[in-house]
Amino acid sequence: MCVDPRTCVRAVALLVCAAVSAGTLACGGGSRPRQEEASETPAAPKVLTAAERAAWHQECWAHFNARAWEQFRACYADTVESEQVDSGQPAARGIEAAMAVNKGFTEAFPDAKGTGELILVNGAAIVSIYVLNGTHTGSLLAPDGQVIPATNRPIGVYLAHHTRADAVGNKVVKEDIYSDTGTMMAQLGLSPTPARPVVTGAAARPAVVLASGTPGELSNVDLLRAQIAAYNSRDAKGAASYNAPDMRYRDLAMPADQTAAESYEGMQAFFKAFPDAKLAATSAWGAGSYVVATGRVEGTNRGAIPAMGVKRPTGKAVSVRYLDITRWEGGKIKEEWIFYDRLAMARQLGLITRTGP
């Protein structure tokens, strides 16, 4: 029993603090429950599998097609760098700039839609072939800053979409889009140069191929590198020996696909026009029976270029970026797609100084 009231107060205080140390009360502050400190680290986000990355890539294209801009925006990292390769347009750096480019294109082509034909996945890298269709009913800004008024004509062009994702696999940190501006200008009636007619994407769904790192897959990459070495030695016959007799060669800057024989003839003509021609490859990787290579086509014009209407050599050097996709069977190329911008080469040769009419 407490006789001195002050002693009783001290005793009660000691009991309260003892309760605090037991984790039931807060010392000096009444009888509220003790707050547990958060000690658990938030779980790391799940890293997407290769198959999930392919599905995510298609979803992002679907958001673009539907103009679901908020969902499409989520496909980009804040610091994304987006480039229309060799188009003359500056790279869009940052999410706001990348979104502005996409929205600007749909203002010129309100019905723009991409249809996937092929998706290749290797780690953080995804390369896809899409057909881009649309009708030019709005103003289009050319690389030289010229505004091209609506032509009301349709386009249907092939493009290669090369993306690199973040560590999780659901944000684009870098994307390069390869297509031929010359083909689009011709389809819009703004260029007299022969070009591919409008193609319409009709694939129900794209073929998806995931890298597995098998010996056969790696062997195809080695074979492509050997072909590049032959090409850089200006050995047209040696480079052509890697092509199957029935191969289909798709130079997307040319008016039509070519056979193996036509491809060989074109290579010989190119070596005459550019005796120092070489492929400066920057990357090569496989996915199933496919090999993807990127780099630059380099050379100095020392001869006529009939395909571009050049009768006398310009003496000018060119360096044009390319993306090449080959499909291999039994150590031979059965199909090949090469993407680059023909107008970039024409500009470097001094053949054109502006885009549009």
Residue pointed to by tokens 């006789």? 3
Are 107 and 101 contacting, i.e. CB atoms less than 8 angstroms apart?
A: no
CA 319, CA 299: separation in Å to the nearest integer? 7
Q: Look at residue 23 in the predicted model and tell me its pLDDT.
A: 41
CA 75, CA 61: separation in Å to the nearest integer? 10
**Residue 279: closest CA among 337, 221, 323:** 323
Q: Look at residue 142 in the predicted model and tell me its pLDDT.
A: 79
Q: Walk along the chain (357 residues) and give the pLDDT tens digit of each residue.
A: 343 433 333 333 333 333 333 343 334 444 444 444 555 677 888 999 999 999 999 999 999 999 999 999 999 999 999 999 999 999 999 999 999 999 999 999 999 999 999 999 999 999 999 999 999 999 998 777 788 999 999 999 999 999 999 999 999 999 999 999 999 999 999 999 899 999 999 999 999 999 999 999 999 999 999 999 999 999 999 999 999 999 999 999 999 999 999 999 999 999 999 999 999 999 999 999 999 999 999 999 999 998 888 999 999 999 999 999 999 999 999 999 999 999 999 999 999 865 555
> What structural domains and CATH numbers belong to the chain?
50-210 (3.10.450.50), 215-348 (3.10.450.50)
Q: Look at residue 276 in the predicted model and tell me its pLDDT.
A: 98
User: Rg (Cα) of the chain, in Å, rounded?
Assistant: 30
Q: Which residues pair with 159 in a beta bridge?
A: 130
Q: Look at residue 274 in the predicted model and tell me its pLDDT.
A: 98
Q: Which residues pair with 140 in a beta bridge?
A: 148
Q: Look at residue 146 in the predicted model and tell me its pLDDT.
A: 84
Q: Look at residue 357 in the predicted model and tell me its pLDDT.
A: 52
Residue pointed to by tokens 């050997």? 226
Number of C-beta neighbours around residue 200 at 10 A: 9
Give the type of residue at 122.
Answer: N
Read off φ and ψ for residue 147, nearest 5 degrees: -90, 120
Q: Look at residue 353 in the predicted model and tell me its pLDDT.
A: 65
Are 326 and 307 contacting, i.e. CB atoms less than 8 angstroms apart?
A: no
User: Helix (H, G, I), strand (E, B), or coil: what is residue 135?
Assistant: strand
pTM listed for this prediction: 0.87
